[in-house]
Chain A
Amino acid sequence: MTGGSFHGQALSWRVAEGVVHLVLDRAPCNEIGSIALDELERFVAALETLERDAHALIISSARKEGFCAGADLRELYRESHLLDSARRIKGIRDFLERIHRVMNALDESPLVTIAAIHGVAFGGGFELALTCDLIIADKTARFCFPELRLGLIPGFGGIPRLKRDLGNAVVRDLLLTGRSINVTKAQAIGLVSQLAAEGESLRVARATAAQIGKFDRKTTISAKRFIKPIPREELRREIDIFCELFARQAVEDGLRKFVESTSPLPYLP
């Protein structure tokens, strides 16, 4: 690792032409577990230094399957199901506190942040994209909050951020049905700012980052701070609700069902 680059087990980053590029790359589809979280924390710690040489951040995936399939539910089940209730809740709360610090740091970064999406952006992957200022997606992209199938709500800050950006009706539609939406729908509701041809989201994101680099940086930072407040109170409440729900036996049953499922569509209830 150097100051401007890193290559880990779940992600890598480098800086080129004023753009920090964070690349998710862990099989099968960038599930966020303890390794990804450790490395995201390293990235956020390095951001302050990286920001000196950059005006934009692009987050993309090197996995052909998609951007990110969300939290690593298999690890979550493996690590939690043998613990007593109090230790399970403490473990999940600690994880959520850490991931929220990462997500908040990305959300309020002075860099203009762009998620370049292809394939699935589900659960925590969708929530990671929602920290970004712009979402650029190709025609294969799908977005989903499938958490209710497990008896949970999204826990990485997704509900407050989607509500902030698009409003409560969109949150209710996606959250309460658990359905996934394609990029056409996502662009129609204002979630996706630019639609790219298949395999072209990163190229479009780079072109957009180059355009953003032409503007005065101080003005861009002021504009972003003005229009993108962090919904801190709702984010805190989200952690509390998630932990309350996680304590129930139904959640452990749901996790076990998912982990043991051989269904082609295991995310369906």
Chain B
Amino acid sequence: MTTLEKTTDQILQLAAQHFSVPREQLRPDDDFFKKLGINSLQALDLLTRIEQHFHIELPDYELQGVADFRTLAERIQSRL
């Protein structure tokens, strides 16, 4: 079973790669909207890539109030 740490790490790698941010600059507790500087359409793009990477469906409302990578990883974990 994938651990929360592994899932968090995969999200950080995915975000770093897609938004061209050095991986070492991203931390689990970072606010990903601020850290990545993304708008609403880019947030949806990130959601699409997360769903494809983890082979899950993550409804938008699950992201309500979620801004840091670790909490995002928890939401993903509950769908794996």
How near does chain A come to B18, taking the closest CB pair, in angstroms?
Answer: 11
Q: A184-B51, A267-B40 are in contact. Are A178 and B60 (CB under 8 A)?
A: yes
Q: Which chain A residues in 153-212 approach chain B with CB under 8 Å?
A: 177-185
Known: A65-B41, A119-B41, A264-B33. A178 touches B48 (CB 8 A): no
- Secondary structure type dominating chain B contacts: helix
The reply to whether B43 and A265 form a contact with Cβ atoms under 8 Å apart is: yes
Give 27 pairs: A residue, B residue, CB < 8 Å, sorted on A. Answer: A66-B41, A69-B41, A120-B41, A120-B44, A139-B48, A139-B52, A140-B45, A142-B44, A142-B48, A177-B59, A179-B60, A179-B61, A180-B44, A182-B51, A182-B52, A183-B48, A184-B51, A184-B52, A264-B33, A264-B40, A265-B40, A266-B40, A267-B40, A267-B60, A268-B61, A268-B63, A268-B64
User: Size range of the interface on B?
Assistant: 10 to 19
Q: In angstroms, how far is the closest chain B Cβ from the Cβ of A18? A: 33
- Inter-chain contact A264/B59, CB cutoff 8 Å: no
**How many Å from the CB of B28 to the closest CB on chain A?**
19
In the bound assembly, the distance between CA atoms of A120 and B45 in angstroms comes to 9
